Structure 1
Amino acid sequence: MDLLDPLILARWQFGLTTLYHFLFVPLTIGMGLVVAIFQTAWHRTGHVKWLQLTRLFGKIFLINFAMGVVTGIVQEFQFGMNWSEYSRFVGDVFGAPLAFEGLMAFFLEATFLGLWIFGWDRLPRRLHLATIWVAWVGAALSAYFILAANSFMQNPVGYQMSPDGTRAELTDFWALLTNRVALATFPHVLFASFMFAAAVVIAVAAYHLARKRDVEAFRPALRFGMWFLVASFAGVAIAGDQLGLQMVATQPMKMASAEALYNTACGADASFSIFSLGTPDGSSEIWSLRVPYLLSFLSTHTFDGCVEGINNLNAQYTAQWPDIASQLSGNLPFAPTIWITYWSFRWMMGFGGLAALISVVGLWVTRRKAKREVPRWFWRVLVWSAPLPLMGALVGWVFTEMGRQPWIVFSLMPTADGVSPNPGWNVLISLVAFTGIYAILAVVEFGLILKTARAGLTPVEPPGSGTDADDPASAEHLTTVY
């Protein structure tokens, strides 16, 4: 393997920057909703504890939002730097959803977030509450437009090829927005984001409850986080089921590789693999532990359905695209790296399921009628389990993107054809630079959030109760809070 291969380095760099940026996306989407819910609770009940929780998790939300913006900018430059051929091919299609994301959704989010930050003593309470809800809607819309663009890579719709066959041209923007893959992916991503935000709330609350600090505020926050996480996991599972159906319909090779299913199977033979061992070259299975009928049910919602296998699909694609097949290598040129798709699919479910299980146990252990005090070790479990939903989301994206290989746009453009004609050392320099910068930013981000979380609740005076919006002390108070 050539260590200075521009394609390999470009893929590593895009994977690194994308996954790093995605560290902040789910927390922004999920925590925005959590803050809006907490502020709504304060607005309806008048209990100061909800205002304190709003301010605490609002700080975490803002720190994460700022870092997400910084890392997201790099993504835009990736296309021109290392994927210029790909950019030319999909530029006409991606222009519309990315423009809507930047000019409408992001500005909606940023504008109303600014009103929320500086409007505590300047806006009526109901109007100020509306600003955080609108900001969250902007964040959700931003995610949808990005997912609509990504879904075109998974299932191209609403386009036609240019007369010279060198690029895809958008013909139906509505078809692009209502791509069935996007409609299935969006709720899956939303609920996964809610899970991570809930896990952060649980971890912060557990940290302080273990030290018996502000129990009156953190206990309801803990219980809310646990219920929210369990409910979100149910949403992830339901949305994931629908996404799986769309994956079978649009990218059957991805499902086959996720299950290490080498030959087409029906009914009992279409079994779900619990554990599988394959040959080193990934061309066949050696041994596996399987549940009969389950894969058939998951893929078709029937117990006698058929699921296409890797070998069968590879032969079909080779006959359909012989020119592309001749450019690809390996025994299964149209299959992704099987062990990556197989295990990332299971890690995705495993991390999320473990987080939900811990929350279910936590709901029982922390119930009011519990006869025993919560053991200190369980508080540690709640704190250290916070990254589980995020890890599930990250490996889920690895599965989504790696499972599409060898296509950068499924059925239209192989990944190798999308890379820029850059020398390998050029890409290597930027890869090392980004890795170093991102490592520093990660330390800063984690340090700021950890410091904020450990500081806990701060005494606050409800806006409008004895403060003057034009009083310098009030402005200083806002600066202290945010």
Structure 2
Amino acid sequence: MELDIVSLSRIQFALTAMYHFLFVPLTIGLSIIIAIMETVYVMTGRLIWRQMTKFWGTLFGINFVLGVATGIVMEFQFGMNWSYYSHYVGDIFGAPLAIEGLMAFFLEATFVGLFFFGWDKLSKVGHLAATWAVALGSNLSALWILIANGWMQYPVGSAFNPETMRMEVTDFAQVLLNPVAQAKFVHTVSAGYVTAAIFVLGVSAWYLLKGQHTDIAKRSIAIASSFGLAAALSVVVLGDESGYLSSEHQKMKLAAIEGMWETEPAPASFTVVGWPDQEARETHYAIHIPWVMGLIGTRSLDEEIPGIDQLVENAQDRIHSGIIAFDALQGIRQAGSDSAIVQEDRARFEEHGNNLGYALLLKRYVDDPRIATQEQIQQAAWDTVPMVAPLFWAFRIMVGLGFLFILLMATFFILSARRRYENHPWLLKIAVFSIPLPFLASEMGWFVAEFGRQPWIIEGVLPTAAAVSNLGIRTVLGTIAGFVAIYTILLIIEMKLMLRAIRKGPEPDDSPEAPLTTPRLSQRLIPSEQ
């Protein structure tokens, strides 16, 4: 990849986004877990659950602060590095981001203060409501961000206006109910739940290995393993839904993930492993499972999944159609008061306007797409193919880790029911060393989603190369270096604060209130071993 302004802008956004997403899944999942723990406390009155809520809430707070600090910068980057993108789709893309700030982030940030400082100022139920409000705000933030991102993957409820030269909303309900956005939301938050569950599981396992805070650790494992098992199973189911939607709306991404160069007879097989070779346009040493990809991608036995070669041919046809749309658009802008010419050009644009973005792919090779050669059109069509090997392996790492999480959670769910942790110290060590794995899986998931969309910043509408700001290479290189330095420092600070809080452990609860006299519910949840 050439280090031009487009590549550098992509690298900068990728770095800041992937740094930010180290904090997001844990925030989403841990907010739910601490709300569950406090609910048990309110229901049973047992102070150990309050102590647990405060301890895990402290870790949530550290992570929340760093997530906010790294997330705010990302929204400013749309204006700094992607100014034409902001101009072109700001009316659509900006709405979910504004709603996220007004509805979700302020809700979450407000009630975070009540969570930390309201223990002795609010009633039990009042404080519990504040805790659930924090959890709701965390998940609503993800919803609105993913509505915006889902529209970039599948731009529904919008149309290009030749008069303003911008994309505009035609049906905001379609933007909100975009099936791609909804599938991404439930899949992403479920992955966040798994991340938090394994984090709680790993830290608790470390306490058991050290023989410290064992009562809290065992109860935390009981919550994390049950919650995490349900979440890990849902990630697989919801991931299947995302794959099905990709076969409908992002066929090239799905073909690249599979390393599928030629269209196979239905139902297509799933490639377990292989070695994609983009130059040879072949996947070497591929091991296939018959029918599986066809069932996942089409949910049928008779529908084909087009291969990369066929999709490139389709892209060439769409580029030719897009050139007609581009010519009609120039005619509309130049016709002035000649209504007859405008009417003719508008009719042509309405017929071919959906392919205008494909004509813009030619801007990489020629200023005016109308004079592009057939060779340039073929090159632009092949530009619609993302780098196959990174997508192929990132997807398989993510899927492999997903099944590992199911196995891990199911194992600890059984151990929790039997209360036999001490008999399996090696499993406790596996849990500790598994803490980084869901973060890796989440990063791989985002890589597949975003890298697989290339060369589009908005699928089929606006190429990434046409969306950047007119900046100098030195300027972007300087900001990349600055962001990497600052974000690395923030990550080190968070790791040190987290480790310090974990080593310190839960603090004794100095609340004067006494537990309820009938703690039977908690005894059913975690039988006493004293």
TM-score (norm 1): 0.92
**Structure 1 runs not aligned, ≥5 long:** 467-482
Distance 1:271 1:186, change over 3 A: same
Matches within 5 A, 1:30-429: 30-164=29-163, 166-268=165-267, 270-281=268-279, 283-322=281-320, 323-327=359-363, 329=379, 332-365=382-415, 367-368=417-418, 370=420, 373-429=422-478
CA distance in 2, matches of 1:432, 1:325: 30
RMSD: 1.9
**Structure 2 runs not aligned, ≥5 long:** 321-358, 365-378, 516-530
Counterpart amino acid of residue 281 in structure 2: S
Distance 1:282 1:342, change over 3 A: farther
Contact 2:63-2:494 at 8 Å conserved across structures: yes
The C-alpha deviation readout for 1:38-96, integer Å capped at 9, x for no partner, is 00111111122211110110000000111111101110111111111111111110121
Query: What is the Cα deviation at residue 465 of structure 1?
Result: 6.3
Query: What is the Cα deviation at residue 324 of structure 1?
Result: 4.0
Counterpart amino acid of residue 455 in structure 2: P
Instruction: State the identity %.
Output: 39
CA distance in 2, matches of 1:47, 1:252: 53
Counterpart amino acid of residue 279 in structure 2: D
Contact 2:294-2:300 at 8 Å conserved across structures: yes
TM-score (norm 2): 0.84
**Counterpart of 2:272 in 1: which secondary structure?**
strand
Q: Following superposition, which runs of at least 4 residues in structure 1 exceed 6 angstroms of deviation? A: none
- The answer to which of 200-209 and 214-223 deviates more is 214-223
Query: What is the Cα deviation at residue 223 of structure 1?
Result: 2.4
Query: What is the Cα deviation at residue 376 of structure 1?
Result: 3.3
Q: Which has the larger radius of gyration?
A: 2
**Counterpart of 1:289 in 2: which secondary structure?**
strand
Matches within 5 A, 1:440-479: 440-462=489-511
Distance 1:379 1:245, change over 3 A: same
Counterpart amino acid of residue 460 in structure 2: S
CA distance in 2, matches of 1:161, 1:373: 63
The C-alpha deviation readout for 1:441-478, integer Å capped at 9, x for no partner, is 11000111111112212110337669xxxxxxxxxxxx
Q: Which residue of 2 aligns with 1:471?
A: none
Query: What is the Cα deviation at residue 369 of structure 1?
Result: 6.5
CA distance in 2, matches of 1:389, 1:2: 32
Query: What is the Cα deviation at residue 255 of structure 1?
Result: 0.8
**Counterpart of 1:267 in 2: which secondary structure?**
coil
CA distance in 2, matches of 1:165, 1:76: 24
Q: Which residue of 1 aligns with 2:481?
A: 432
Query: What is the Cα deviation at residue 330 of structure 1?
Result: 7.6
State the aligned residue count: 463
**Counterpart of 1:247 in 2: which secondary structure?**
helix
Contact 1:226-1:360 at 8 Å conserved across structures: yes
CA distance in 2, matches of 1:369, 1:465: 27
Contact 1:354-1:388 at 8 Å conserved across structures: no
Counterpart amino acid of residue 11 in structure 1: R
The C-alpha deviation readout for 1:193-238, integer Å capped at 9, x for no partner, is 0000001110111011111222222112112212222111111011
CA distance in 2, matches of 1:154, 1:331: 19
**Counterpart of 2:16 in 1: which secondary structure?**
helix
**Counterpart of 1:278 in 2: which secondary structure?**
strand
